[in-house]
Structure 1
């Protein structure tokens, strides 16, 4: 059995800490409003749902404070780069930064949960306030409804002038108030943002997702305004007027024992929670705009087989690390659609490049705009203007921090490893290189034979260079073809089985047919690398990611002579 703590420990610790922070914030706020004498009369007016509403509001502030930070990509990249990986704990902490979007989603779920609790509680609160203003909650509630705060506002903001039907009157009175209509807008915005963030909407109707998600500006404006009225007032003279004693003597107010209770409006506190993340996000957007305005030149467009195009570009002052990614914008196609692409060039090259597989409307339009559907090379002057945001760090850049690297790409998910393999080939052949990486296992799983074509040139070049330098054992690669071969191809493969090179790829190592047996693979790697740290890097579908993640947990060992597998998945 493996040691799950290697991959799961830090993640679960951070999640538990965050959930405990929410629970603690909720409980402390609930106890304050449920037991404090300052809110005794407000509890009498609003009922037992008041502490629930206020505790939920505290957690909404807490999670709204965090929702923006995980999507500040430049800030994440900065902390990722400043977090050294020379020991187990820092390496694991750095790996958690790659799960920023996952944490963003967790926070979003919590916001939805606490919003439901807050809204339902306030429905009861408004009902109780309405009943008190209507005289249906008892004489004390009616007396309290007429009390004013220090600035002259009514303790009960709801006024009942005519006897309308109870339900309609309640809705009317609630929505007229600032907390009522801002809360309604908040709820509507949250529903739109949350429902349009599903994977189906994001992939099929990106503009819908983009526009609705940018309603977060309205969300934060409303949440700042929501508590500005200070409806939940507190009693300021508890020492002179003990509510636990005086509430039964309300008919004799004021008296020597019970002077009139004095109240002050609650103060808006959301801005204290939200100021820092909003400032961070504003600077993040300004920095993105600054980089997007910088000149980018497409220097070359290469048409590869299997409907893949390569864009080679230049940008002054651009610096990158192997495995990083950028966001690409082509204004002639859309001024709002930024698409992530892994850089396939190496830092040692004098240009930056991406490989784009044509699998959708946007990529098809990109191919047409760069002349990928025409014969011959297009003049640079005719190529469209583009903007890039990045580069940003991902999990794969950490491969150089491990003694053993295991790279797994599925289909087009092989692109992050193009840059890495190029950089490895340069570093390993440099005489004074201090490369920590001693062994690389590369696995590529493809559905059909056409998917091999553009990447095999790189593998062939790397294979040749390693053989010439006497380092052939450094790279061990395995290519798996899961389907897509015809009867004729199968016969040709069989006839060429004894050849030195593979019948499909032309590489020295032969293509495997079917799917890898991952348990056997990890078991063998662990046996061959005792006492070493092995970084597993994957880019591809979730189903395979789950299999690899479980294998890492199952075969990892914290023993001195055991191989420790650290799982890393590409996230954009």
Structure 2
């Protein structure tokens, strides 16, 4: 998108933004249903409070501070203004009372703006959030909801701005009418909101806020132009400068957060100054870009994320990306879905010809230099709490699987260490749910899922869901390629796919070389233990031992079993199954309520559905504790 189209799109959006969509209406109905259950169902109320007490603690604390500040400012200014206006003989008693209340409310909202505007930048401080998480304060404060808190404060700032401006406009208007007979410079009263310092800065603040808020809406940020959002959001510098000029005492409120933020920016620049070499790039047909980097000089935990910067695209833009490699891996891996302007530019940089599949080892720039990426991190997420549970449900949709790719690898590594006498992990069972619209989205993930499911079936249960509409050819592949169909005596071997689980080196010319995770199209099978097939990775055909391969689903390329689904998940059934599994595997003498960690990374609709079921399906014996990744 060139700059002219971007500008036109931006202007059109900020003047026509944020309609109330059908999804907004359905969400309102869902929320109303939850609140009805909260007030009418004691069990639902108990589950909600148990699950959300940290959020309510922060909200109640914040609300009490706001109420206290408003009352303090209102009382102080009411007495001061009333005493001052009473000395002016030209004003009638009703005018004095009216003006006093207008100023009182304006000053009350002004004090709230001082507090909340200063507080607005605190949730965005990644280093502070990471430090609090390291101190285990995430068990008290919902640190994973930092950006949600930031947005809610921003909404409240809008409300307070409207209140502050509305009562000041009433004050100016009534000031003009009250003085219309006596005041010689009447124009100063009605124009005070436009020509003097406070009026000019106040109206400029509203304009700056409008630009920032319009481009911050998810409809614009995620589907139109993230770069415009990123640069427009940096108008916060002008916003705070105007506030410092506008409010006489705002600097007192802003001093602490400002010092913390400046310290945060210094640390970001220091951490992000190190450049790491790109070791490998893999461009997949589904427009997922795998970037493999040399490990920076930091230690990270499974499921964490980092900010990355590509100087060849923009020296100033940083984007949050989940680390998809395990801490034990030699290199740092990122899997990036190319769906926005910056990610598409990244794909174009490494794959300018737009080839469906490209693998580049040690890529070089046109002037034969290493590609360099800057990394700032790591930063914690809700996934940091996964190790607090014995049973976990990891639920991902599409590229939302990246934090769980890291976790699944890490779990598998720890289980292998445990077999060799290493320290066991607390988690004893992991239910993983992977949801995708089409089979192309499985290509980067299927080999990992096959590997962990094969090595530790007692620990992992992999549930997959393909929700997109299938073509007739795909349905035939599923049916004819299934081992059940093959065993029925109706031979369609050309549609059956296998995956190599072990390395096999041929001992004669008619045998087929196999590497782990190679996909083989079966040509012929018999009872001798030797089958004939074509290795789709190498294009060669030959014989291979049948005990070196497993049957896989034709579309997902995962082992055939009852956990491969076509359609949307039935969450009630899945939560019920987990409860039954816990009941079967928990001692009858155990009276403590079992807790299951439910971790979700995906679109809002999925998160809200899972959240509703986590609350509804919690019982006296099992509590589902919901955690949401920011996605």
TM norm structure 1 = 0.80
1:420 deviates by: 0.4
Of the three residues 44, 63, 69, the one matched with 2:122 is 69
Going from structure 1 to structure 2, the CA distance change for 1:548 and 1:316 (only over 3 Å counts) comes to: closer
1:82 deviates by: 1.1
Residue 553 of structure 2 aligns to a residue in which SS? coil
The answer to whether the aligner puts 1:498 opposite 2:483 as a matched pair is yes
The answer to whether the aligner puts 1:525 opposite 2:574 as a matched pair is no
Aligned to 1:218: 238
Q: Is the 8 Å Cα contact of residues 286 and 440 (structure 2) preserved in structure 1? A: yes
For 2:611 and 2:299, the matched residues in 1 are separated by 31
Greater mean deviation of Cα atoms: 322-331 or 7-16: 7-16
Aligned to 2:530: none
Aligned to 1:120: 166
The answer to whether the aligner puts 1:187 opposite 2:203 as a matched pair is no
The answer to whether the aligner puts 1:322 opposite 2:302 as a matched pair is yes
Aligned to 2:470: 485
For 2:416 and 2:295, the matched residues in 1 are separated by 27
1:458 deviates by: 0.5
1:348 deviates by: 0.5
Residue 630 of structure 2 aligns to a residue in which SS? coil
1:42 deviates by: 4.2
Q: Is the 8 Å Cα contact of residues 226 and 342 (structure 2) preserved in structure 1? A: no
Of the three residues 4, 13, 19, the one matched with 2:63 is 19
Aligned to 2:625: 566
Residue 436 of structure 1 aligns to a residue in which SS? coil
The answer to whether the aligner puts 1:339 opposite 2:319 as a matched pair is yes
1:416 deviates by: 1.2
1:127 deviates by: 3.3
Higher RCO, Cα 8 Å, sep 6+ = 1
1:440 deviates by: 0.2
For 2:359 and 2:291, the matched residues in 1 are separated by 15
CA distances 1:523-571 after superposition (whole Å, capped 9, x unpaired): 12112224321111111111111110001101123x3xx1111111111
The answer to whether the aligner puts 1:41 opposite 2:84 as a matched pair is yes
Going from structure 1 to structure 2, the CA distance change for 1:483 and 1:172 (only over 3 Å counts) comes to: closer
Of the three residues 422, 430, 454, the one matched with 1:432 is 422
Residue 442 of structure 1 aligns to a residue in which SS? strand
For 2:306 and 2:213, the matched residues in 1 are separated by 26
Going from structure 1 to structure 2, the CA distance change for 1:207 and 1:367 (only over 3 Å counts) comes to: closer
Going from structure 1 to structure 2, the CA distance change for 1:364 and 1:189 (only over 3 Å counts) comes to: closer
Going from structure 1 to structure 2, the CA distance change for 1:169 and 1:25 (only over 3 Å counts) comes to: closer
1:128 deviates by: 4.3
Aligned to 1:377: 360
Residue 429 of structure 1 aligns to a residue in which SS? helix
1:379 deviates by: 4.0
Structure 2: state its 5+ residue gaps: 1-42, 87-95, 485-549, 584-592
Structure 1: state its 5+ residue gaps: 85-89, 137-141, 143-159, 228-267, 467-471
Going from structure 1 to structure 2, the CA distance change for 1:174 and 1:524 (only over 3 Å counts) comes to: closer
Of the three residues 324, 342, 345, the one matched with 1:362 is 342
1:225 deviates by: 1.7
Residue 600 of structure 2 aligns to a residue in which SS? strand
For 1:76 and 1:169, the matched residues in 2 are separated by 48
1:173 deviates by: 4.0
For 1:538 and 1:98, the matched residues in 2 are separated by 12
For 1:422 and 1:508, the matched residues in 2 are separated by 21
Going from structure 1 to structure 2, the CA distance change for 1:38 and 1:368 (only over 3 Å counts) comes to: closer
Matched length: 489
Residue 272 of structure 2 aligns to a residue in which SS? helix
Residue 216 of structure 2 aligns to a residue in which SS? coil
Of the three residues 387, 411, 416, the one matched with 2:403 is 416
Two-structure CA RMSD over aligned residues (Å) = 2.3
Aligned to 1:106: 152
How is 1:169-184 mapped onto 2 (pairs within 5 angstroms)? 170-184=189-203
Going from structure 1 to structure 2, the CA distance change for 1:17 and 1:522 (only over 3 Å counts) comes to: same
Of the three residues 195, 203, 207, the one matched with 2:227 is 207
Q: Is the 8 Å Cα contact of residues 324 and 391 (structure 1) preserved in structure 2? A: yes
For 2:264 and 2:348, the matched residues in 1 are separated by 32
Of the three residues 552, 565, 570, the one matched with 1:512 is 565
Residue 359 of structure 1 aligns to a residue in which SS? coil
How is 1:233-252 mapped onto 2 (pairs within 5 angstroms)? none
For 1:175 and 1:376, the matched residues in 2 are separated by 61
Residue 186 of structure 1 aligns to a residue in which SS? helix
CA distances 1:12-33 after superposition (whole Å, capped 9, x unpaired): 2322332232122212221222
Aligned to 2:274: 294
